[in-house]
Amino acid sequence: MSSYTAATEQDIVEMLAKIGCDSIEDLFAAIPEGVRFDSRLDLPEGKPEQEVYAELRELSARNTSADDEVTFLGAGMYDHYVPSLIDALTSRAEFLTPYTPYQPEVSQGGLQVMFEYQTAISELTGLPVSNASLYEGPSAVGSAAYLAKLVNGRSRHLVSRGVHPHSRATLETLAVGNGTTVEEIPLKDGVTDIEALQAMLGDDVGAVILQQPNFLGSVEDIEQLTAVAKAHGALVIASCDPIPLGILQPPGEQGVDVVVGEGQTLGNRLDYGGPSFGFFAVAQEHIRKMPGRIAGETTDADGRRGWVLTLQTREQHIRREKATSNICTAQALNALAGVVYLAWLGRRGLVELGELLVRRTDFARSQLLALDGVTALHEQPVVREFAIQLDVPVAAVIERCQAEGVNPGFELGREYPEYSNGLLVALTERRGRADIDLLVEVLSSAITAERASRTAVVA
Partner 1 sequence: MSQTPQQLDHAVTIFEKSKSGRRAFTPPAAEVPDRPITELIPERMLRVSPAKLPEVSEPEIVRHYTRISKRNFDLDSGFYPLGSCTMKHNPRLHERVAALPGNSRLHPLQDERRAQGALELMWNLQHALGEVAGLPHVSLQPSAGSHGELAGVLLTRAYHEDRGDRRTKVLTPDTAHGTNPATVTMCGYEVVKVGTNPDGGVDLDDLREKADDQVACLMLTNPNTLGLFDTNIEEIAEIVHGVGATLYYDGANLNAVMGISRPGDMGFDIVHFNLHKSFTQPHGGGGPGAGPIAVSERIEPYLPRPQVVRLEGNGGEQPTFTLDDDRPKSIGRLRGFQGNYGVFVRSYAYIRSLGAEGLREASELAVLNANYLLARLSEKGVVEYLPVAYDRVCMHEFVLSGAPMKRDLGIRTLDLAKRLLDHGYHPPTVYFPLLVDEALLIEPTETETKETLDAFADAIAEILVEAANDPSVAQAAPYSTPVRRLDEAGAAKQPVVRQPL
**Is residue 417 involved in binding partner 1 (CB under 8 A)?**
no
Taking Cα atoms as reference points, which of 385, 377, 390, 376 lies closest to residue 443? 390
Which of positions 149-208 make contact with partner 1 (CB under 8 A)?
164, 166-167, 169-170, 172-174, 176-179
The residue among 338, 443, 326, 457 whose CA lies nearest residue 70 is 443
Contact (CB, 8 A) for 281 and 261:
no
With H, G, I as helix, E, B as strand and everything else as coil, classify residue 212.
Answer: strand
Position among 200, 394, 397, 436 found at the interface with partner 1 (CB under 8 A): 436
325 CB neighbour count, 10 Å cutoff: 20
Smallest gap from residue 22 Cβ to partner 1 (A): 12
Burial 87-111 (b: 16+ CB within 10 A, else e): eebbeeeebeebeebeebeebbebb
In whole angstroms, how close is the CB of 398 to partner 1 at the nearest point?
A: 8
**Would you tell me how many other CB atoms lie within 10 Å of the CB of residue 226?**
21
Residue from 9, 35, 372, 459 that binds partner 1 (CB under 8 A)? 35
- Considering the rule CB under 8 A, would residue 349 count as an interface residue with partner 1? yes
Which positions from 45 through 104 interact with partner 1, judged by CB under 8 A? 45-47, 49, 52-53, 55-68, 71, 73, 75-77, 79, 83, 85, 87-89, 91-104
User: Do residues 309 and 293 lie in contact, with contact meaning Cβ atoms separated by under 8 Å?
Assistant: yes
Give the range of 111-119, 151-159, 193-201, 449-457 binding partner 1 by CB under 8 A: 111-119
Span of 151-159, 196-204, 230-238, 328-336 interacting with partner 1 by CB under 8 A: 328-336
Q: Is 7 in the site for partner 1 (CB under 8 A)?
A: yes
Query: 188 - beta bridge partners?
Result: 191
Q: Which is nearer to partner 1, 301 or 456 (CB)?
A: 301
Alpha-carbon distances, residue 234 vs 148, 219, 256, 414 (angstroms): 9, 22, 10, 31
Which position among 246, 261, 267, 422 is part of the footprint of partner 1 (CB under 8 A)?
Answer: 246
Rounded to whole angstroms, how far apart are CA atoms 163 and 144? 14
Q: With contacts defined by CB under 8 A, name the span among 119-127, 183-191, 227-235, 369-377 that binds partner 1.
A: 119-127
312: contact with partner 1 by CB under 8 A:
yes
Binding partner 1 by CB under 8 A: which of 145, 187, 205, 339?
339
From 151-159, 201-209, 302-310, 369-377, span contacting partner 1 (CB under 8 A): 302-310
311 CB-near residues (< 8 Å, 6+ apart): 287, 288, 290, 294, 296
Q: Does 120 bind partner 1 (CB under 8 A)?
A: yes
133 vs 192 by CB, closer to partner 1: 133
- Which DSSP state fits 382? B
Strands 422-426, 385-390: pairing is antiparallel
List the one residue from 186, 255, 296, 373 that touches partner 1 (CB under 8 A): 296
